[in-house]
Each structure stands twice: as structure tokens, then as C-alpha cells.
Amino acid sequence: MSINKENKYPSIHQFKVNDINGNEVSLSKYKGKALLIVNTASKCGFTPQLDGMTKLYEEFRDSGFEILAFPSNDFAGQEPLDGEAIQQFCVTNYAADYPIFEKTHVKGNNANPLFKFLSSKKLNGKVSSSPKWNFHKYLVDKEGRVVDFFYTITKPTSSKIKKSIQKIIGN
């Protein structure tokens, strides 16, 4: 793992993930943007948070903010869909136009390396919180450093999340 020497903290920009169609995407493409990284599921009691994610994205997208959604089936099998079906569900039901990535593991030994990084203070230098359920949220600053996390019960449109984003983007 590389360390961002300018900031002393490791960056998520070192990771590559697959988009919903299986194409590799370097997270370095998000340099200079604040990010909210969320593990999602289509058949969860918290699935309506996708609507809040869309509203949050619409509010801040022109200010250097992105939401990155990572569907996961790690919690009670609540993401039965795959690939294009996930994308279609999110767009059709919640007008999601933020990036949705390939279904992945977000906890345990099989967790995607990005989520291992996001979950471990030893790796990211700031936060120690692994997802306990769907819709766990990580806030990442413009340099790719993990700066905060929000539990499932925190709605994407909460003032707590909005204020944290505003602090990063400078609004």
C-alpha cells in the first residue's frame, strides 16, 4: 500500500474497483472530489435511502462531490440482483445517476480491499468501523483520505452528513 507523502495519510486513490459492468475503474479518477462511499442493497429496510442518496448527489454534485455505491449481499442476502439488474433497479426506482459499482463483499476475510481499507484505522489512518449492515457510509476528502463514517441509521440527507460534506468542499 502506498502512502500519500504530502498528507501523511493513505489514500483510496490507490485502489481499482469494477463498475457495475465489470470494467476496471481506478479511484484516482476521483482525485479532487469529496466522496461518500456506501454499501447498498435493493431488498433492505434501508433501501429507501437510495432516494436520499440521489437527493444528496443532486445537491452537491456541482461542488466536487460524488457518491460511490457498492451493492453487497453480505447482510441477510438482501442484494439478490446482479449487474445490470442492480443498475436498472436503482435508476428506475430511485433515479440514481451516481456511479454504481459491481456487487462486492464489504466485510470479513473476503471483503473487497477497498472496504478493508475503509474499515481499518491501521490502514486508513483515521477510521475504524466496518459495515454492520447495509448503507454504512464513509466520507472521503478531496485527497482520498477517509475522514468520517456514518452508521446505517444516519440518513444521507441528514444535517450531520451535509455539514461534513460542506466542510470538505468549502461551501
Cell numbers for 138:
464513509
44 classed as catalytic: yes
Q: How far is CA 15 from the centre of its chain?
A: 13
Between strands 146-150 and 137-140, the pairing is antiparallel
Q: For the packed helices 159-169 and 49-60, what is the interaxial angle rounded to 10 degrees?
A: 30
Could you tell me which of 140, 143, 142, 160 has the C-alpha nearest to residue 151? 160
Of the residues 12, 27, 37, 44, only one is catalytic, namely: 44
Residue with cell 475503509: 118
Residues taking part in catalysis: 44
